[in-house]
Amino acid sequence: MALRTRDQYLSALKQMRPNIHKFGEVIEDVTTHPVTRRVVESHARGIDAAHDPKLADIFSTKSSLTGEVIHRNSSLMTSPEEMIYNSKFKRKMYHLTGSCTGGLCVGWNGLNVMWSVTSEVDAALGTDYHARLKEWGLGFQKKGLIVCGALTDAKGNRKLKPHQQADLDHNVRIVERRPDGIVIRGAKHMICGVAAADEIFVLPGSGYGEADKDFALVCVVPKDIEGLTIVEARRPSDSRELEQGFDIPTETGITQAYLLFQDVFVPNERVFLAGEFQYTASILTRFTATYRACIGACVAGQGDVMVGAAALIARANGLSAKAFRDKLTHMELNNETTFSMGVGAIALGKMHPSGVWLADSLTGHANKILVATLPYETKRLCQEVGGGIVETGCMPSYADFTSPDYGHLIQKYLKAGAGSAETRARVARLIEWLTIGAGVPGCMHGGGSPDGARMVVFGASPLEEYAGYAHSLAGIQEDLPEPAK
């Protein structure tokens, strides 16, 4: 069985040890608890999609290892075309769910990046990480798992390296090496889609030197592994998820969790790096190149939904969507920009000898900078089309909308153009959710900050080569070096 069904997926989640918390309480069943049911539904739609004939080309593929049909999120991307499907997959997931792809994103990328890196580590150091990874990967494909990924450490003081922190646990680290595995401690913060995942791909949060070798670790753990406590973070207007009615109008959503590893034992077969610090830079570089190429598709996909929602609210207000043609075109331009720029970064990539495709780092990171800016503009335009009720969701609550005393008046006065008062309120709530509510994905800092991307763009651009072109074109006969300090 490679293509798991929704039912199989949900019952797997139900059987896990309850170790997820929010609002001070443990969540017994993530598939039904109001705090997590939406993120589970999002992922379930990603599973359904692999069974949908219209979407199967995006959501499933043949395994390069076994030839069997598998869910695409467990595939090795062995060509630019297959990596472009990563982008298409994410854009479509946003169409289906309105928000972040979560657990269908990072584990996939982690498998691919570590596929290339473990082959190098093994070749250089005689380790057997690649074989372990392949074995685990075959299970990933066969069981049709959802594997979220955890990079961002708690970090502590941003000026200091991991081993310089007053509290060494601020970055996840190996506290004990045993013959049969390692013991890890520390925290990973703001991890997407954990509640809906089967397993967690743990990756280093930065590139490390020798002094930080205990932080150079890669492994995959079951979500409910002993010693792991998970606490879900808040999101804008998240308390509404506990309420009745349509003030959160979607059945879908995303979550971000804090993972607290308290001396968790990970057996060797799930460990894919343990101290080989000199490979952490490659892991980061390759991970972020692909991630930042493809994240352009995420914000494009959410932008598409905003375009559609803007059209709907115009009509609900009594106007034609075409009256906002300029703004809609601008939103569409933003969407296509980050999407196709990311596809360009993929096409400009190269094949790794291990057989997986690597996206281009320079243009992938350039894309991330736009991902951190253009969606703010798209949201603003969407709010501008929608009017005051969408800007800050400025409508009475569902409880007021249905009040026996004055609910009829709220409804009387919210009715405007096409559709009922409820329809108008639902569209407005959707735009609120997308632009200033729980549906806003953390795309500016997700996968690293834009300033980090700017550093890569500056560092990877060949400044002296470009200076040489100018030098030659201007007919200059002498050197023009940087001034001495």
| Residues in 43-82 at the binding interface with a copy of itself, rule: CB under 8 A | 80
Residues 136, 360, 371, 452: which binds a copy of itself (CB under 8 A)? Answer: 360
**C-beta of 242: minimal distance to a copy of itself in Å?**
8
161 binds a copy of itself (CB under 8 A): no
Size of the site for a copy of itself (CB under 8 A): 164
Length of the chain: 485
The answer to whether residues 302 and 373 touch, using CB atoms and an 8 Å cutoff, is no
Contact mark string toward a copy of itself, 88..117, x via CB under 8 A: -------xxxx-------------------
Residues 222, 227, 308, 355: which binds a copy of itself (CB under 8 A)? Answer: 308
User: Residue 456 burial by CB count (10 A; 0-12/13-18/19+): exposed, middle or buried?
Assistant: buried
Pick out residues in 177-196 that bind a copy of itself (CB under 8 A).
Answer: 187, 189-190
Pick out residues in 22-41 that bind a copy of itself (CB under 8 A).
Answer: 22-25
Residues 150, 328, 358, 371: which binds a copy of itself (CB under 8 A)? Answer: 328
- Residue 312 identity: L
Sheet order of strands, 147-150 included = 147-150, 199-202, 217-222, 271-274
CA–CA separation, 434 and 440 (whole Å): 5
**1: Cα separation from own chain's centroid:** 26
Nearest to 375 by CA among 442, 329, 454, 321: 442
243 binds a copy of itself (CB under 8 A): yes
251 binds a copy of itself (CB under 8 A): yes
Q: How many CA atoms lie within 13 A of 246 on its CB side?
A: 15
Handedness of CA 454, 459, 463, 466 (dihedral sign): negative
Residues 6, 155, 161, 163: which binds a copy of itself (CB under 8 A)? Answer: 155
Contact mark string toward a copy of itself, 365..404, x via CB under 8 A: -xx-xx-xx--xx-xx--xx--xxx-xxxxxxx-xx-xx-
Q: Decide whether 126 or 159 has the Cβ nearer to a copy of itself.
A: 159
Residues 15, 53, 159, 350: which binds a copy of itself (CB under 8 A)? Answer: 159
- Return the range that interacts with a copy of itself (CB under 8 A); candidates 48-56, 135-143, 210-218, 321-329: 321-329
Q: Decide whether 137 or 364 has the Cβ nearer to a copy of itself.
A: 364
Q: Decide whether 98 or 102 has the Cβ nearer to a copy of itself.
A: 98
Residues 115, 339, 354, 371: which binds a copy of itself (CB under 8 A)? Answer: 339
Nearest to 433 by CA among 255, 248, 309, 300: 248
Q: Which residues contact 89 (CB under 8 A, 6 or more apart)?
A: 58, 59, 72, 73, 101, 104, 297
